[in-house]
Amino acid sequence: MNSFTDLEVWKKSRILRNKISELVKPFPSDERFRLVDQIIRSSRSIGNNIAEGHGRFHYADAAKFLINARGSAAETIDHLIIALDNNFIDNTVFESFKNDCEECMRMINGYINFLRKQSGNQ
């Protein structure tokens, strides 16, 4: 594997990021620099941190960024809860996006475990 773009977990985060970008387009304009900005940033951060972790030489360095990516996925869920609470999305949409975020988190955990085994840090 030569590039972070080959990683299934990064591919999943890319799909999520693009779906989030579409989701927030109809949000109220007064949320543009509040919720919209925050949810876009947190969803972008998932893939950004996966990419940066992939570029690190040592397992511990890579794991730090992957843990950050997992945190960004959780943050994205919290922003989705805010969108739900403010009736910008309905429960069906929320559950679908929440499931996508949780799938990213599971995949990140799997990648961390894979790297741990590869480095001998079990």
| Domain boundaries of the chain, sorted by first residue | 4-119
Q: What is the DSSP letter of 36?
A: I
Indicate the Cα dihedral angle 85, 45, 24, 94, nearest 10°.
-40
DSSP tag of 56: -
- pLDDT of res. 57: 82
Residue-wise pLDDT tens digits, 32-66: 999 999 999 999 999 999 999 999 888 889 999 99
* CATH class of the domain defined by 4-119: mainly alpha
Read off the pLDDT of residues 40-49 as tens digits, 9 standing for 90 and up: 999 999 999 9
